């Protein structure tokens, strides 16, 4: 899956998720919009609630969540899970992706980022 909204060689996401990425949209009972992308053993789940934007990556039982307030103007936080302990805060989405990739034991280029989440960060 190629995502033209992510740019630059520093993002590590020129070809997010590779050619075998799959993309699904859903809405839960609370009305939160959810997007799921899978590629090379990594699953990315993006959810927008009334309070937060949450991008959760899972791989082989490991999880990393990148979270930002719903208005989109704040530092992004890396957590152990969507509602888990906060590990670090970053201004840039690229740095948060790097931390998430490290937690999962993959490179940033291996993280499938749903298009709706590509603008996270300040």
The string of pLDDT tens digits covering residues 15-68 is: 334 444 455 555 544 455 789 999 999 999 999 999 999 999 999 999 999 999
pLDDT at 115 over 80: yes
Distance (Å, whole) CA 112 – CA 83: 21
- Specify whether the CB–CB gap between 25 and 10 falls below 8 A: no
Q: How far is CA 30 from CA 23, 27, 47, 70, in A?
A: 21, 8, 11, 15
Phi-psi region of 83 (alpha: psi -120 to 50; beta: other; left: phi over 0): alpha
The three-class DSSP label of residue 28 is coil
pLDDT in tens, 89-102: 999 999 999 999 99
Distance (Å, whole) CA 114 – CA 36: 7
The full DSSP string for 37-80 is: EEETTEEEEEEE-SSEEEEEEEETTEEEEEEEETTS-S-EEEES
Phi-psi region of 41 (alpha: psi -120 to 50; beta: other; left: phi over 0): left
pLDDT at 78 over 90: yes
Residues 6+ apart with CB under 8 A from 23: 1, 35, 36, 37, 114
């Amino acid at each position: 899956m190629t995502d033209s909204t992510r740019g630059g060689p520093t993002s590590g996401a020129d070809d997010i998720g590779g050619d075998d990425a799959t993309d699904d949209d859903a809405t839960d009972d609370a009305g939160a919009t959810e997007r799921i992308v899978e590629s090379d053993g990594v699953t990315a789940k993006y959810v927008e609630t009334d309070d937060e934007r949450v991008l959760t990556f899972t791989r082989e039982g490991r999880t990393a969540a990148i979270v930002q307030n719903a208005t989109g103007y704040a530092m992004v936080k890396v957590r152990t899970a969507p509602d888990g302990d906060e590990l670090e805060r970053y201004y840039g989405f690229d740095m948060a992706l790097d931390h998430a990739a490290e937690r999962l034991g993959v490179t940033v280029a291996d993280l499938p980022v749903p298009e709706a989440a590509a603008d996270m960060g300040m």
